[in-house]
Amino acid sequence: MTNFKPVRKAVFPVAGLGTRFLPATKAMPKEMLPISDRPLIQHVFEEAREAGIEEFIFITGRHKQMLEEHFDYQPELEQTLESRGKDAMLEKVRDSEMPAGKLFLTRQPKPLGLGHAVWCAKKLIGDDPFAILLPDVLMKGETGCLKQMIDVYNETGGNIIALEDVPESEVHKYGIADVGEESNGAIEIKGLVEKPSIEEAPSTLSAVGRYILQPEVFEPLEAFERGAGNEIQLTDAMAKLIGQQPFNGMVFDGKSYDCGSRLGFIEANLVYGLADPEIGDDVAKILKKYN
């Protein structure tokens, strides 16, 4: 195995307004919407932690203080749970705390696109490789998606994106990969197209919200070029690294859930509820009532 600079930093773009969930997100960040017994952002944090991430960088916007509070130490709550002997609940609360000195916040003042949000983390990333996890996409598998990607990265280095096969009718919603040969779980990326039509799509393999990138991606991002939707697109910046650095995809062994949509959010709650050892059987019984 070749030794590449380890991935220890992760960026979480959490500045979005969550308009598809209004009025629920009028005062609460969409990343705090619950999937089973924990908010979206905690599921994604736990995925990053499992993969060995040590520094967690939140790209925030206005009215996002609740995110920071969620990961903070809550002494009154912990003392109350401890005094009442609620040890299992206390363990869950403590497990949601961010290690001291590991949470970093920076602001995206205007919603100019994912590429711009990532660029806002440039000073915090420095010259290190880093991961990006989109918090409104949950990746459910036996092993976390980012851990799977780190395993591939340790063999290939360079840049890696998580891929998932999508129906042809949905390629216009995603960044779609033009792929080459596969070797040991790594698929050569020859090109990326942001939200193509069915006719223009080079494949049905979509980027699904998990990335490992080299810091050189900040160079094209700094040009602030507008792409699809008149936004600064991360896909466009990544495409400019292809041919200059190793660039691979990895088909995620599991399934993604787009919790940024109402239907995806409901589906994820059902899937995670069914998998919960405390309530899974009862969730299944409820579903049977409506078959």
Q: Does residue 159 sit within a domain?
A: yes
pLDDT of 259 reads: 92
pLDDT of 175 reads: 83
Q: Does residue 19 sit within a domain?
A: yes
Q: Does residue 185 sit within a domain?
A: yes
Q: pLDDT of 243-276, one tens digit each?
A: 888 999 999 999 999 998 999 999 999 999 999 9
Q: How far apart are CA 160 and CA 183, in angstroms?
A: 13
Q: How far apart are CA 174 and CA 30, in angstroms?
A: 20
Q: pLDDT of 44-81, one tens digit each?
A: 999 999 999 999 999 987 777 778 787 777 778 778 87
Q: pLDDT of 150-179, one tens digit each?
A: 999 999 999 999 999 999 888 888 888 999
Question: What proportion of the chain, given as a percentage, has pLDDT over 70?
Answer: 96
CB atoms within 10 A of CB 262: 11
pLDDT at 1 over 60: no
pLDDT at 227 over 70: no
pLDDT at 229 over 80: no
pLDDT of 94 reads: 78
What does pLDDT average to over the chain? 87
Q: How far apart are the first and last CA of the chain?
A: 51
Q: Tell me which residue range forms the domain holding 242.
A: 9-258
pLDDT of 286 reads: 93
Q: Count of domains in the chain?
A: 1
Q: Does residue 77 sit within a domain?
A: yes
Highest mean pLDDT among 13-22, 52-61, 227-236: 52-61
Mean predicted confidence (pLDDT) in 25-38:
87
We report the CATH number of the domain holding residue 63 as: 3.90.550.10
Q: Does residue 196 sit within a domain?
A: yes
Q: Does residue 20 sit within a domain?
A: yes
Asked whether 36 and 273 are in contact (CB, 8 A), the reply is: yes
